[in-house]
Amino acid sequence: MKYHCSPRSTALRSFLCLTAFGLLQACTTPAPSGSNEPNAVAPPVSGVSVGSNVRNIPEPGDIQSQKFAQVIPQIAELRLDRASVTIKAGEGFRISDLRVLAYDSSGKLLGRLKQTDRGVQPRDVLSMASADIVQGIKPGVGYLELSAPAWPQFGGDRPKPTLRLEVVVSN
């Protein structure tokens, strides 16, 4: 016997399954250590970023994209909650788990940037498995570079605030 479901009910069922899986994954995956440990070990994640939308719920102090025109020109420096991350080859970590903080020229905290421009190097050690996941390819030291988004539109002629996070990939 063959069952026919409307596209709407199929989409709703898929959404509920993915949401439940994402919540389960968010509740069972340990969060990375905070700033108390300068060399935190990131929790391993698969190459598929299922459930990452759960982690993108706005928090107080987040700089929302609607405020970029006001906030981005004020950014003078970006800082992270850690000095480095250690992962194993084949594993990865979510960029959205990092706390990228934006400061103005007087050192005043402007808020957390959840959206950043990003890149990795060298590409034989690290890769971007998705827009939110950095994956270790082989043992070595690489860097994740994060910078202020929408800089050409709002940043003006100043240098783009950029930071580098050391990523150690082990066996």
Query: Residue 84: CB partners within 8 Å, gap ≥ 6?
Result: 38, 39, 40, 165, 166, 167, 168
Q: Structural domain boundaries of the chain?
A: 7-170
User: What is the band of 168 on the pLDDT scale with cuts at 50, 70, 90?
Assistant: very high
Supply the pTM of this predicted model: 0.64
The mean pLDDT of the chain is: 75
Determine the topology of domain 7-170 in CATH. Answer: Immunoglobulin-like (2.60.40)
Residue 133 contacts residue 49 (beta carbons within 8 Å)? yes
What would the pLDDT profile of 67-105 be if each residue is shown by its tens digit? 888 898 999 999 998 999 999 999 999 999 999 999 999
Q: pLDDT class for 6, splitting at 50, 70, 90?
A: low
